[in-house]
Chains A and B, each alone.
Chain A
Amino acid sequence: DAKTTQPPSMDCAEGRAANLPCNHSTISGNEYVYWYRQIHSQGPQYIIHGLKNNETNEMASLIITEDRKSSTLILPHATLRDTAVYYCIVRSNNDYKLSFGAGTTVTVRA
């Protein structure tokens, strides 16, 4: 069963912020939201994760709605190297499984 829903694709302009949405309406109280990305021909790269508070690191920001049913990954200044498939994954703290959906194919254009 899919726990998250993401748009299949989106285009972004280089230098602009990229906002990637994710719906996870059935998320449980002990489940975290993780984001990974996979650049072509490489292994998935961890980006960020959060429980209910907004999070920021050197790569991105994660905004989680108050009801936790959706979230947005923000790449503040997209570059061509950010072109990748982005995966939003819901996972509980005691579950080792990462269930990858189809993700969002993000294309950053010059």
Chain B
Amino acid sequence: SAVISQKPSRDICQRGTSLTIQCQVDSQVTMMFWYRQQPGQSLTLIATANQGSEATYESGFVIDKFPISRPNLTFSTLTVSNMSPEDSSIYLCSVERTGGVETQYFGPGTRLLVL
């Protein structure tokens, strides 16, 4: 398994501002992902954070709104830009090593409330 931490664990933000969420893993991993879970909903993949290159975004998510960085194999950030109340969600990072049948492990999540 992998030990994953996220910062902050929760935040309350004003609309129009931006928040950067950090994800740290205790060991090097090949794949890192960012998910969103809106209130009462299931998880939706936002993007794959690629080390050394631009993130790969899923349909409905764009880089200008959710810029992602991944400077190395243990760390990634997700920024939620120009926030609106509709961005109120839990944001989760997940990681996966490659080689064989893989298991994806999730961080504890960041609870975001936008007023």
Contacts and interface: CB of A to CB of B under 8 A. Distances in A.
B45 interface: yes
B43 A44 contact: yes
Contacts of B107: 43
Nearest to A93: B101
A98 B45 contact: yes
Interface in A47-62: 49, 51
A100 B43 CA distance: 6
A96 B48 contact: yes
Say what secondary structure dominates the interface of chain A.
Answer: loop
Interface in B1-48: 1, 4, 31, 33, 42-45, 48
13 contacts: A32-B101, A34-B103, A41-B109, A42-B108, A43-B94, A43-B109, A44-B106, A45-B106, A93-B102, A96-B33, A97-B45, A98-B43, A98-B94
Size category, B interface = 20 to 34
A96 B109 contact: no
Given A49-B101, A96-B31, A102 B106 contact: no
Interface in B84-115: 92, 94, 96, 101-109, 111
Interface string A67-89: 00000000000000000000100
Contacts of B48: 96
B42 A100 contact: yes
B103 A49 contact: yes
Interface in A1-44: 32, 34, 41-44
Interface residues of A, number: 19
Given A96-B33, A96-B48, A96-B96, A46 B105 contact: yes
B25 to A, nearest CB: 13
Contacts of B108: 42-43
B63 to A, nearest CB: 19
Nearest to A99: B45
